Amino acid sequence: MKFSTPHTLLEISQIIKASYVGDSDFQVLGMNEIHVVEKGDIVFVDHPKYYDKALESKASVVLINKDVPCPEGKALLISEDPFRDFNVLTQHFNPFKEASKSIADTAVIGASTIIQPNVFIGNNVKIGEHCIIHPNVTIYDNCIIGDFVTIHSGSVLGGDAFYYKNRPIGYDKLISGGRVVIKDHVDIGAACTIDRGVTGDTTIGEGSKLDNQIQVGHDTIIGKKCLIASQTGIAGCVVIEDEVTIWGQVGIISGITIGKGAVIYAQAGIGKSLKGGKTYLGSPAGEARDKFKEMASMRYIPTLIKQLKRE
């Protein structure tokens, strides 16, 4: 998430009431999670396990809960609760805006696009040309939709990320300030839910087709010309490369990559990254040909047990 104008380290420290290490005029351009952070960004870290990863990342400013040596060319914000203060910054730079009508005045809708009744379109949404948005679709603030996109009834684009910190008093939510970006020639079926990024974009690539009742988690990137069948659940921060086919009721864990051209059969459970150009089956998923051999071998188990008993 980039700020509309650059800010100084001093200005940021005053917003969250934190001390800092570095030049007070050090320029800050935005804020992002570790997997999408860029030069000029703030990243937060609140666990020693990830200190080095954050300090060595592309981030220019590290919001951290320990006074540590500051890497050359970077700055630190020292906070007793980086998770809380990251939320404070999100609310400051991207505050929630209450809707006053079904289609916001700031929404931009392209030529020859059809918006059916009972559609909600939030603030700063951009929809391209020749799209069809069917009844009862909800498009939250800041979503970007390309040309020749079809979205069927009941789908929701831009809901909050499922991202929580477990505290003694309950779960604390990380506030979402990112977007959903839908490229050209994408079809989205009925009752799909596509969550926005926490600070970055959840992206559906050009020409991809989503069936009904699919969940796409925050910051996930789906490539070009992918086919995803109904009731598939994709967690956050997943990368699905181009031309992947995913059949129904597949579950995919967060933070993994599925390689180009992979095919995943129905009801598979994906718990680790998969190479492209192969076909997968089962839970935990493995190469389909190996899984089929395993299944065929299992048919002989009762016979083997009988033989062992006779012996």
Task: Transcribe 122-157 into DSSP letters.
Answer: -TT-EE-SS-EE-TT-EE-TT-EE-SS-EE-TT-EE
Task: Please name the amino acid found at residue 98.
Answer: E
Of 88, 236, 83, 85, nearest to 172 (Cα)? 83
Is residue 78 domain-shared with residue 112, that is, in the same domain? no
Is residue 69 domain-shared with residue 160, that is, in the same domain? no
Q: Residue 311: its pLDDT value, please?
A: 66
User: Which position has the token pair 């974009």?
Assistant: 201
Per-residue pLDDT averaged across 46-64, rounded? 95
Q: Residue 178: its pLDDT value, please?
A: 96
Residue 54 has pLDDT above 80, yes or no: yes
* Domain stop point among 93, 121, 155: 93
d(CA 139, CA 175): 18
Q: What residue numbers bound the domain in which 139 lies?
A: 108-293
Is residue 186 domain-shared with residue 155, that is, in the same domain? yes
- Residue 310 forms part of a structural domain: no
Note the pLDDT tens digit of each residue in 78-121.
Answer: 999 999 999 999 999 999 999 999 999 999 999 999 999 999 99
* Domain stop point among 66, 93, 120: 93
Cα separation values, 288 from 47, 245, 280, Å: 39, 14, 5
Tell me the catalytic residues: 218
Is residue 14 domain-shared with residue 117, that is, in the same domain? no
52: confidence class by pLDDT, cuts 50, 70, 90:
very high
Q: Residue 289: its pLDDT value, please?
A: 83
Q: Residue 301: its pLDDT value, please?
A: 80
Residue 131 has pLDDT above 70, yes or no: yes
- Across the chain, mean pLDDT equals 95
Q: What are phi and psi of 145, to 5 degrees?
A: -125, 130
Q: Residue 110: its pLDDT value, please?
A: 97
Is residue 138 domain-shared with residue 282, that is, in the same domain? yes
- Residue 151 forms part of a structural domain: yes
Determine what percent of the chain is predicted with pLDDT higher than 70: 100
User: Which position has the token pair 């396990």?
Assistant: 49
Dihedral of the alpha carbons of 76, 78, 79, 82, in degrees to the nearest 10: 30
Question: What's CA 107's distance to the chain center, in Å?
Answer: 23
Per-residue pLDDT averaged across 203-225, rounded? 98
Structure tokens at 173: 């939510």
Least confident of 7-16, 87-96, 302-311: 302-311
Per-residue pLDDT averaged across 57-62, rounded? 96
Is residue 153 domain-shared with residue 197, that is, in the same domain? yes
* Domain stop point among 93, 120, 136: 93
Is residue 185 domain-shared with residue 258, that is, in the same domain? yes
Is residue 234 domain-shared with residue 155, that is, in the same domain? yes
- Residue 302 forms part of a structural domain: no
Note the pLDDT tens digit of each residue in 266-281.
Answer: 999 999 999 999 999 9
Is residue 82 domain-shared with residue 205, that is, in the same domain? no
Complete DSSP assignment for 41-88: EEEEE-SGGGHHHHHTSS-SEEEESS--PPPTT-EEEE-S-HHHHHHH
Is residue 154 domain-shared with residue 52, that is, in the same domain? no
Is residue 63 domain-shared with residue 172, that is, in the same domain? no
Residue 255 has pLDDT above 70, yes or no: yes
d(CA 249, CA 234): 10
Per-residue pLDDT averaged across 6-19, rounded? 97
- Residue 298 forms part of a structural domain: no
Q: Residue 40 is part of a domain; what is its CATH number?
A: 3.40.1390.10
Number of domains present in the structure of the chain = 2
Is residue 73 domain-shared with residue 144, that is, in the same domain? no
For residue 17, count other CB atoms closer than 10 A to its CB. Answer: 9
Cα separation values, 81 from 85, 190, 278, Å: 6, 40, 44
Name the β-bridge partners of 240: 222, 258
